[in-house]
Structure 1
């Protein structure tokens, strides 16, 4: 089995969208409680076209995780230092890909000079982020009706990304509306 993390391309949008939709629907039941209204609102902007626009935005840095050349995970970091997406297909959990995506995003953020990475976690993801050094700092209700926990992690800052890619934030805002 080959595992890889790489920069997301527009051509990955459909597969990445599938990752988001399946992960939310199948792994986040604790959060949406199979409520059709909440699930519909949460998945509403998870279309291939929208995901492609997030990947193309100069304010975002997006990664995909591959298993045997198939997209099984996706992560998105905004120029403001927010981890807006970090999702895996249900069958890809437990392989170390989530940890690898998170570590790579932390490297990118450090390279940008971000001092602290922030995110809004579902209840499903809380233990994952806590295990990786993130500190909970209160509850926030998402626009789609799910209670999330605001997490943050102090970063080292200043180092260039490990593989030398030229990902740099250009603006300090996010257009993804997808925590």
Structure 2
């Protein structure tokens, strides 16, 4: 792997925002169908200032995946156990960065005592989360007009066993 997973910092907000915007625009076409109204609503809060505020919140745990110093992925976990963000640049997909981000998020959730993670996936990300052991629990319409898939995953056993090294996670 040629990428590193680390805690997001305030100065990562602009690059992370670009990851979010490109991933949504380019990788989630199945979801937004290039509808300008849906895209405008979905991207409306994806600004560097908003992303910086998400990173700064003491109730959030934000990570970035970097490759050769450039941010190629971003993930955000809330203290309530919700995976609020997990996005990659299109060119970073299918190379392990998503799995690495998810492994670090799960490890953090375990350290907080969270028993299960939940998320709302796009149709574009549905197969990825299912492959990582997340269970589909129905559909939910997002505020921006996209049908999302509600997933959850019980965190127990080997996921939260601190004595076992995490295959991808170098985020401690």
**How does the TM-score come out when normalised to structure 2?**
0.92
- Moved beyond 3 Å, runs of 4+: 157-165
Which deviations, in whole Å up to 9, do the C-alpha atoms of 1:76-98 show, x marking residues without a partner?
00000000000000000011000
What residue ranges of structure 2 are gaps of 5+ in the alignment? none
Aligned runs of 1:130-169 on 2, under 5 Å? 130-156=130-156, 165=172
What residue ranges of structure 1 are gaps of 5+ in the alignment? 166-179
Equivalent residue, structure 1, for 2:11: 11
Report how many residues are paired.
Answer: 165
Pair 1:86 & 2:86 matched: yes
**How does the TM-score come out when normalised to structure 1?**
0.88
**2:144 aligns to what SS in structure 1?**
coil
Structure 2 vs 1, CA of residues 158 and 3 (structure 1 numbering), >3 Å: closer, same or farther? Answer: closer
Pair 1:58 & 2:58 matched: yes
Contact preservation (8 Å) 2:3, 2:68: yes
Following TM superposition, by how much is the alpha carbon of 1:159 offset from its aligned partner in structure 2, in angstroms?
5.6
CA distance in structure 2 between the partners assigned to 1:164 and 1:147 by the alignment: 32
Which deviations, in whole Å up to 9, do the C-alpha atoms of 1:93-119 show, x marking residues without a partner?
011000000011000001111000000
Q: CA RMSD in A?
A: 1.7
